[in-house]
Structure 1
Amino acid sequence: MTLTVTDGERRGWTVFQVEGEMDLVSSPAVRQRVHAAVADGRRRVVLDLSQVKFCDSSGIGVLIASRRLMRSCNGGLRLVMPEEGAHVNRVFAALGVRSLFDIYRELETAVDDEAEPVDLLA
């Protein structure tokens, strides 16, 4: 399975819909899209990971680097992640990186400036 990244905009947020597998070979495509968004002056990015079927540590590394980039330019990064039992969520839990990100269950909530992230540690 390959990785596709499509982009759009909602409520002032740049939205990247990521679908497929994020691994050593494919995950740099996500990094490139986030870097391009920042280069274009966009500072509010949502990565919709609800259609990611597989993610290894290199994919997580890209997400952490994207977070670091957005923070360095006073931007914001939000993630849309599926239900608790999904593969991506299990990888986040195993690596202990959930608390680094603002995570939302649905895209509509992620682009709502009044919405609070999901508390996955509760």
Structure 2
Amino acid sequence: METQNAYRPEPLRVTSTTTDTATIVAVSGEIDHNTAAPLIQALAPEQLGERPRAVVDMREVSFMDSSGINVLLAAHRDLTPTGSLRLAGVQNSVMRTLQLVGVDSIIPCYPSLTDALTT
């Protein structure tokens, strides 16, 4: 039996912009096992430079499962010795997930991109 209305997540869209103080990684879509690869690439230390400071703009992330959490924790681990990782504009539904597993106590979360860049 075929399912006509099978759910398929939209591909994750990731764009990076470098400023004087940080690399802004803007993410749009759903972060899960099938879509996480572009985010992994964007947050790789070799993509971010010698003293990496990355801010992930998550305003347009509507869903994130444990794969996304693992990507963020791995990036935090890889960047912490010489740089930093911050999250900005996390939607309430995704923030609840981050809070449930304690990611918000490990990776700083800011209500807006401006706050993440200036604080």
Same fold by TM-score, threshold 0.5 exceeded?
Answer: yes
1:29 aligns with 2:35: no
Q: Distance in 2 between matches of 1:87 and 1:2?
A: 19
1:99 aligns with 2:105: yes
Aligned residues: 109
Q: Per-residue displacement from partner, 1:55-109 (whole Å, max 9, x unpaired)? A: 000110000000001013x1111111335xx221111122222100111111111
RMSD over equivalenced CA pairs, Å: 1.5
1:3–1:21 contact (8 Å) kept in structure 2: yes
Structure 2 gap ranges (5+):
1-9
Identical amino acids, percent of aligned pairs = 33
Equivalent in the alignment of 2:78? 69
Q: Per-residue displacement from partner, 1:33-72 (whole Å, max 9, x unpaired)? A: 111424x435111011111011000110000000001013
Q: Distance in 2 between matches of 1:96 and 1:43?
A: 23
Larger Rg: 2
2:76–2:85 contact (8 Å) kept in structure 1: yes
Structure 1 gap ranges (5+):
116-122
Equivalent in the alignment of 1:88? 94
